[in-house]
Amino acid sequence: MDSSSRTRLSSITSKVIMALAGLFLVMFLLVHLGINLLLLANDGGQSFTAAAGFMATNQVIKIFEVVLFGGLLVHMFIGVAVSFRNRASRPVRYQHKSMSETSPLSRYMFHSGIIVFIFLVLHFIDFYFVKLGLVAPPAGVERHDFYRRSILLFSDKGYSAVYLVSFIFLGFHLNHAVQAAFQTIGMNHNKYIGTIKVASILYAIIVASGFMVIPFWFILFR
Amino acid sequence: MIFTLKIWRQKNAADKGGLVTYKVEDISADSSFFEMLDILNQQLIAQGVDPVAFDHDCREGICGTCSLYINGRPHGPLKGVTTCQLHMRSFRNGETIFVEPWRCGAFPVIKDLIVDRSAFDKIIQSGGYVSVNSGGIPDANTIPVPKPDSDAAFDAAACIGCGACVASCPNASAMLFVSSKVSHLALLPQGRVEAERRVQKMVSTMDSLGFGNCSNTYACEAECPKEISVVNIARMNREYLAAKIFAEKEKQISFSL
C-alpha cells in the first residue's frame, strides 16, 4: 500500500466510522424526543424538569454525553472531509444536469446536514451554553430551568418557524441516513433490506413529526 | 428523423474543449446511436472537418468499450443497455441531444468523447486475479460451489468495466465497479485464498487514484448497463471490515545462527 493510504483513512473506513457515529446519534434522538414530549404533560413541567435533571446529573449519562459530542464531531468532520474529497474527484463537471433516477434526498445529505448543524448551533446557544453559564439566560429564567426556557422560545413564532423548518430537513436527512448507514456497514441483503428501508422512513417520520408536534401544541393550546 | 447534437469536442488532453452543435438529417429510427454518429462523421469528413472521436468495439453490448454521457445519463435514456445497443427510436424527432465524455479526475479525456479508463486496469492489477496451480486441466466441478454463491458471483461477474457507475455517481466513485470485482472472486472458493489481501489492495488502489467515496445515492445501480446491484458494495464493505479487523497475521520467524 502506498504512503498516502496509510496516513489518511480509507474511503470505506471513513464511511463506516461516519455510519456508526450517525447510528449512535439516531439512538440519542429517540431519548431526546422522549424527554421533550414530556413538555406536553399538563403538570407545570414537573416530569420534564425531573427528566432533564436526571440527564444533567446522572453519572452514566455524563459519560454518554462525552461519547455523544465525540460522535457528533466525528460525524460532521468526516462528512465535510468526504464531501470535499468527493467534489474534487470530478474536476470538470457535466454540461447537462444528471438525469439518473435516484432518490433526490440522497444527493443533498451535505446540504440537509448543514441546516441541521445551523439549528444545533442555535440550540446550543439557547440551552447548553445557558446551562454552562456561557450565555446569560433571559430575564426571569433560572439557567437550569429548561422548561420555562422552552416555553418562552416556543411562544416566539419566529423561533417556532425556524424550529419546524430545521426538523423537516432533519427528517429528510434521517430518511436516507438510517438505510444508508446499514448499507455502509455491510448490511444489505434481500432478506431484510426492505424492512430496513421501511424502518428508516418510519423512524424519520416519527422523529421529525414527534419534535414538530411540540411547537404546534404550544401554538394551538397555550 | 432530425436531431440537433451538442457534442463535446476536445483536441487533446491539454485542450480546454467545449460543446459544438451539429445537425443530422434523414436518420432512420432503427439506426443505432453509433450509426447516427458514423453518419455525422461521414458528413464531417466530406466537409474536411476532423471527425468526432468516440470509443466502440464489439457493438454487441458485451465488451464495455463504449461510453458517452447522453442527455445527463451514461449510455443514454434506456435502462440496462450500453450506448451501442441504443437506437434512435429512443429519442424524439427533432430532439437536442447532449453528448459528453465520462467525467472523473481519474478518467482524463484523451480526445473528444474518449477518456482514459486505465485507472480501472490498475485496480484490477492490484488484486483482481486468483492464483491457480499450473499443470493439467482440472476436472470440471472438482471444487464444489454452492448454487446461490455461484449465481451471485455470476451476477457480479457480468460487470464489463465500462465505467458508467463512475460517470453517473455524483461523487465519481468507483465502488460499484470495485465491489463487483471483489464480490465475483470473494464468493467463489477459488477466490477465497487471496480474498483478504485482494479487497484491501483494490480499495487502496481505488482511493489512491482519486475516485470519490460512495454516498449511497445508487445512481450507479440505476445506470449500470449490466444492472449490477449495490448489494455488492455492502459485500465489499463487509469483506473490507472483516479483513481489517479479523485477518490473521503472518508469523514472523527470526533465525539466529
Homologous superfamily (CATH) for B118-246? Alpha-helical ferredoxin (1.10.1060.10)
What is residue A4's predicted lDDT score, i.e. its pLDDT?
Answer: 46
| DSSP codes of every residue in B35-104 | HHHHHHHHHHHHTTPPPPP---S-SSS-S-----EETTEET-SSTT--GGG-BGGGS-TT-EEEEE----
A105-142: per-residue pLDDT in tens? Answer: 899 999 999 999 999 999 999 988 888 888 888 877 88
Domain residue spans of chain A: 11-89+106-221
Q: Considering CB atoms only, which of A14, A93, A188 is closest to B231?
A: A188
Q: Name the band, by pLDDT with cuts 50, 70 and 90, for residue A1.
A: very low
Which residue of chain A has the CA closest to B127?
Answer: A1
Q: Tens of pLDDT along chain B (257 residues)?
A: 999 999 999 999 999 999 999 999 999 999 999 999 999 999 999 999 999 999 999 999 999 999 999 999 999 999 999 999 999 999 999 999 999 999 999 999 999 999 999 999 999 999 999 988 888 888 888 899 999 999 999 999 999 999 999 999 999 999 999 999 999 999 999 999 999 999 999 999 999 999 999 999 999 999 999 999 999 999 999 999 999 999 988 888 888 77
DSSP secondary structure string for all residues of B131-168 = ----SSPPPTTSS---HHHHHHHHHHHT-----HHHHH
Q: Residue B128: in which H helix or E strand, if any?
A: none
Q: Does A58 touch chain B (CB under 8 A)?
A: no
Question: Rounded to the nearest 5°, which phi and psi values hold at A5?
Answer: -75, -20
CA distance B221 to A102: 9
Q: Is A103 helix (H, G, I), strand (E, B) or coil?
A: coil
Contact at CB, B73 and A102, closer than 8 angstroms: no
Residues from chain B that touch A92, judged by Cβ atoms under 8 A, are 103, 109
Out of B172, B217, B237, closest to residue A185 by CB: B237
Residues with Cβ within 8 Å of residue A37, at least 6 apart in sequence? A210, A213, A214
Of residues A137 and A162, more confidently modeled: A162
Q: Report the pLDDT value the prediction gives residue A221, as an integer from 0 to 100.
A: 77
Q: What is the pLDDT of residue A222?
A: 67
Q: Which residue on chain A is closest to B199 by alpha carbon?
A: A12
Q: Provide the whole-model pTM.
A: 0.93
Examine domains B3-110 and B118-246 and report if their fold is the same: no
High-pLDDT (> 90) share of chain A, %: 69
pLDDT digits (tens, 9 = 90+) for A44-82: 889 999 999 898 889 999 999 999 999 999 999 999 999
Chain A with chain B: Cβ pairs closer than 8 A:
144
Tell me yes or no: is domain B3-110 CATH 3.10.20.30: yes
Name the average pLDDT for chain A.
Answer: 91
Task: Please judge whether B222 and A101 are an interchain contact, meaning their C-beta atoms are less than 8 angstroms apart.
Answer: yes
**ipTM value for the complex:** 0.90
Q: For residue A184, what pLDDT band results from cuts at 50, 70 and 90? A: very high
Instruction: Average the pLDDT over A175-193 and give the result.
Output: 94
Chain B residues whose beta carbon lies within 8 Å of the beta carbon of residue A187 = 234
b (16+ CB within 10 A) / e for A175-197? bbbbbbbbbbbbbbeeeebeebb
Separation CA B246–CA B184 (nearest Å): 21
Q: Is the pLDDT of residue A167 over 90?
A: yes
Give the sign of the dihedral formed by CA A76, CA A79, CA A83, CA A89: positive
CB contact under 8 A, A189 and B170: no
Question: C-alpha angle B222/B224/B227, rounded to 5°?
Answer: 80
pLDDT digits (tens, 9 = 90+) for A15-46: 999 999 999 999 999 999 999 999 998 888 89
Q: Which residues contact B184 (CB under 8 A, 6 or more apart)?
A: B153, B156, B157, B159, B191
| pLDDT score of A2 more than 60 | no
Beta-carbon-side half-sphere exposure of residue A120 (alpha carbons within 13 Å): 14
